[in-house]
Amino acid sequence: MTLAKDYNSVMGRSAEIMKASLGLDFNDFESGSVAFDYEGLMEATGYTIEEIDKIQSRTGVGHTALLELRNITKLARKYAKPGYGARILVKDEAANASGSFKDRRAACAVAHAKKLGYKGVIAATSGNYGAAVASQAAMQGMKCIIVQECYDSKGIGQPEIVEKARKCEALGAEVIQLTVGPELFYEHLSVMEDSGYFNASLYSPFGIAGVETLGYEIAMDCRAKFGKDPEMVVCTQAGGGMVTGTARGLLKAGATGTEVVAASIDLTGLHMASDVQFNKKSCTTGHTGFGVPHATNPDTGDVPRSAARPLRYMDRYVTTTQGEVMYMTEMLANLEGIERGPAGNTALAAAFVLAQELPEDAILVVTETEYTGAGKHIQPQLDFARENGIEIVFGDPVDDVPGKNIVLPADPGLFKVKELDLNKMRKSLIKRSVPRAAGKLTEADIAFLVEDTRADEAFVKAALDELGVEY
């Protein structure tokens, strides 16, 4: 029998499609209410961190260099008070097979798909993950489809997104390009159903488990080089996988005292699904348009329950601006001889400020670099911004208005970060979680929300009281 392929019919079969495409039944971890067995879901991968390390090593993924940015550290110390300015280091994830940390996620997912006997893998992404999945599929002899949100309604795509499509195709993937809007999830589900391919989701436990090796390596590298764990690790925050996986890896290494800071570009005011505003942003990932929604409402992706749950792990969440990230990309190239980015440099731009809060003997690690290329370089991004009416100026980044201008710092001393209110975000997550409840919230629901928000029971109950929710 031919299945109906209209939007409502496909979306109505989403749970069934996702179950078939992962070889994993999420119902096994559900309570029927707000709570679910998160650690049980993570353990369902069936791999230890040592086994994942072996999987990644087979395709040239992981064990990347930990580079000390001596000149950028020296510059940060010029603006710090005496005795302050932590040593800034970065994990050079651009050395992975496709050029980003997302190879770690893809290696695990694709290897598992092959183990289960799937003929191919599919992923919905406009970012580096598509190239990572395509690369791993090529290495492991599997077919690959990438569904990419690429253009506005006029058929105009950002240079960075078009570059990523080119790379996916170069690595042998079939790329399905879509205009911005709600059709991405529908098309992904539809093609997944038709192809029978494995869903190499960014948000599956296989993807998050793959990132755990990054946090584990950071701890081990710092112990080998400096005889201690890093005081701070800064992660770019978008979908939440970097923060979640890195923090879990640090904990598995026993680095319980390391502060985990999430960093995003502040794109407040721009709607990511807006046709008009789609090309008004000049950084396509690592921004608040993804970072905040995925932190406060993680279960909205292409799996029933997301394994990326960053509020469980972040100690702080800070923002920077597009201009600061682009300036930092140039700074990294000019001062350190390393041309990378720009998305990976979101965390580095924040780290430049955060390092000034720490003493000189402290170690601050930025979790990633990413490859750069023709469309990903800052110059085509700035040119595209000008074409879209964005003003490019040197000045104070506090004057940055997303969608109207990009303010490059007139002096490195003007770099700043803004603190996001984690308690406000925690309340938002609780509010978004409540509709799952079957009647009153149970003790298990309360305990789950305590873990999911990294708060205490009193905080969760107070938030529920504000919402008028029974428990």
Task: Determine the Cα–Cα distance for residues 238 and 235; give it in Å rounded to an integer.
Answer: 9
Domain region containing 154: 7-53+100-205
- Contact between 219 and 251 (Cβ < 8 Å): no
In a domain, 2, yes or no: no
What number is the average pLDDT over the span 380-390?
92
* 201 & 76 share domain: no
Phi first, then psi, for residue 235 (nearest 5°) are -120, 135
CATH number (domain holding residue 34): 3.40.50.1100
What number is the average pLDDT over the span 408-417?
98
Q: How many domains does the chain have?
A: 3
* 394 & 407 share domain: yes
* 19 & 106 share domain: yes
* 110 & 19 share domain: yes
Task: Determine the Cα–Cα distance for residues 469 and 471; give it in Å rounded to an integer.
Answer: 7
- Contact between 189 and 32 (Cβ < 8 Å): no
* 445 & 458 share domain: yes
* 69 & 217 share domain: yes
Strand partners for 143: 120
Q: What is the pLDDT of residues 73-120, one digit of tens each?
A: 999 999 999 999 999 999 999 999 999 999 999 999 999 999 999 999
Check pLDDT > 90 for residue 152: no
Check pLDDT > 90 for residue 391: yes
* 291 & 187 share domain: no
Q: What is the pLDDT of residues 214-271, one digit of tens each?
A: 999 999 999 999 999 999 999 999 999 999 999 999 999 999 999 999 999 999 988 8
Task: Determine the Cα–Cα distance for residues 326 and 377; give it in Å rounded to an integer.
Answer: 9
In a domain, 428, yes or no: no
What number is the average pLDDT over the span 413-422?
98
Distance from chain centroid for Cα 90: 17
Task: Determine the Cα–Cα distance for residues 394 and 398; give it in Å rounded to an integer.
Answer: 12
pLDDT of 19 reads 86
What number is the average pLDDT over the span 461-470?
95
* 338 & 267 share domain: yes
In a domain, 424, yes or no: no
State both tokens at 238: 């978008």
CB-based contacts of 356: which residues, under 8 Å, 6+ apart? 76, 77, 79, 80, 81, 84, 85
* 286 & 332 share domain: yes
Three-state DSSP string of the chain: CCCCCCHHHHHHCHHHHHHHHHCCCHHHHECCCCCECHHHHHHCCCCCHHHHHHHHHCCCCCCCCEEECHHHHHHHHHHCCCCECCEEEEECHHHCCCCCCHHHHHHHHHHHHHHHCCCEEEEECCCHHHHHHHHHHHHCCCEEEEEEEEECCCCCECHHHHHHHHHHHHCCCEEEEEECCCHHHHHHHHHHHHHCCEECCCCCHHHHHHHHHHHHHHHHHHHHHHCCCCCEEEEECCCCHHHHHHHHHHHHCCCCCCEEEEEEECCCCCCCCCCCCHHHCCCCCCEHHHHHHHHHCCCCCCCCCCCCCHHHCCCEEEEECHHHHHHHHHHHHHHHCCCCCCCCHHHHHHHHHHHHHCECCCEEEECCCCCCCCCCCHHHHHHHHHHCCCEEEEECHHHCCCCCEEEEECCHHHCCCEECCHHHHHHHHHHHHHHHCCCCCCHHHHHHHHHHHCCCHHHHHHHHHHHCCCC
Whole-model pTM: value is 0.96
Phi first, then psi, for residue 152 (nearest 5°) are -85, -175
Q: Which of 63, 64, 53 is nearest to 108 (CA)?
A: 53
Q: For the chain, what is the mean pLDDT?
A: 94
* 34 & 127 share domain: yes
* 276 & 375 share domain: yes
* 74 & 156 share domain: no
